[in-house]
Amino acid sequence: MVLEDLARRVAVAWTAWRVVATNRLVRNEHGEGVISAAIAVLVMAFLGAAMWVAFKAIFDGASTRVEANVNDIGS
C-alpha cells in the first residue's frame, strides 16, 4: 500500500510539473500587448515632434513674409 501510494504521488507530481513547464513554454507571450502599445506611443511621439518642427518652420517663414509685406504696404 505504501509503495503504491508513493508511486501515485510521484506520478501526479511529475504530471503536474510537466503541465506547468509546458504551459510556461507554450504561453510565453505575456506583456506583448504592453510592448506593442509602448512602441506605438513612441512612434506617435516622434511623428508629433517632427510635425511640430515642420509646422514651426512653415509658420516662422510665413510670419516673416507677411510682416515684410505689411511693412512694404505701410511705407
Q: Number of structural domains, the chain? A: 2
Residues 49-72: tens digit of each pLDDT: 999 999 999 988 888 888 888 888
Same domain, 21 and 40: no
Residue 46 confidence (pLDDT): 96
Tell me the C-alpha distance between 69 and 12, whole Å.
Answer: 88
* Model pTM score: 0.49
List, for residues 16-54, the tens digit of each pLDDT value. 888 877 776 666 666 678 888 999 999 999 999 999 999
C-alpha cell at 63: 510670419
> Are residues 23 and 7 part of one domain?
yes
User: Are residues 36 and 17 part of one domain?
Assistant: no
Do residue 47 and residue 63 come from a single domain? yes
Same domain, 39 and 9: no
Domain residues for the domain of 70 are 31-75
